[in-house]
């Protein structure tokens, strides 16, 4: 599997505004923020897309979502609400092929997304 910019961030080879870390997950601010709060939650394991995740990744995927939810709660974002997004492949709008959960908050979200 090819390395990505997120792999470099995880290994601290390039800088990022890291807001959360545990043994399995790293979270940092999106460089191209689409909301007042826009944080990316990435597994340290380099899974390319949601499509390439397997049953062996079930616990890790759960941890990823729960880390995003806990961050939102701790930052006082949960009551007003937020959006989590996983883009998969071309039509999903995925540009970095290291699985990540977008956490967007701080403004009204709309549906359907563009
Ligand atoms: P996606 O389109 O779902 O693959 O989202 C990739 C996001 O990653 C996009 O919103 C911009 C962000 N991004 C790309 N390169 C970098 C980077 O070098 N640093 C940070 N912090 N974010 C990046």
111 located within any domain: no
Question: Is 112 domain-assigned?
Answer: no
Q: What mean pLDDT is predicted for residues 39-49? A: 98
Determine if ligand 1 sits within 6 Å of the CB of residue 32.
Answer: yes
Just list the catalytic residues: 100
Residue 114 has pLDDT above 90, yes or no: no
pLDDT band for position 92 (50/70/90)?
very high
Question: Considering the entire predicted model, what is its pTM?
Answer: 0.98
Q: What angle do CA 24, 27, 28 make, to 5 degrees?
A: 150
Ligand 1, closest atom to CA 5? 18
**Which residues constitute the domain of residue 90?**
5-105
Residue nearest (by alpha carbon) to ligand 1 atom 11: 32
Q: What's the pLDDT at 2?
A: 65
Helices then strands, each counted (H, E), the chain? 3, 5
What is the domain-level CATH number for residue 72? 3.30.428.10
Q: 113 lies in a domain?
A: no
Q: Is 48 left (phi over 0), alpha (psi -120 to 50) or beta?
A: alpha
Tell me, using a 6 A CB cutoff, whether residue 93 lines ligand 1: yes
Sign, CA torsion 72/69/99/24 = positive
Which pLDDT tens digit goes with each residue over 61-79? 999 999 999 999 999 999 9
């Amino acid at each position: 599997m090819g390395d990505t910019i997120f792999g470099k961030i995880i290994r601290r080879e390039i800088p990022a505004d890291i807001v959360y870390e545990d043994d399995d997950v790293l979270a940092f601010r999106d460089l191209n923020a689409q909301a007042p709060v826009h944080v990316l939650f990435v597994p340290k394991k380099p899974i390319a897309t949601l499509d390439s995740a397997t049953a062996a990744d079930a616990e890790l995927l759960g941890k990823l979502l729960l880390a995003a939810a806990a961050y939102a709660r701790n930052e006082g974002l949960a009551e007003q609400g937020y959006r989590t997004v996983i883009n998969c492949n071309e039509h999903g709008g995925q540009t970095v092929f290291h699985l990540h959960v977008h956490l967007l908050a701080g403004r009204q979200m709309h549906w359907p997304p563009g």
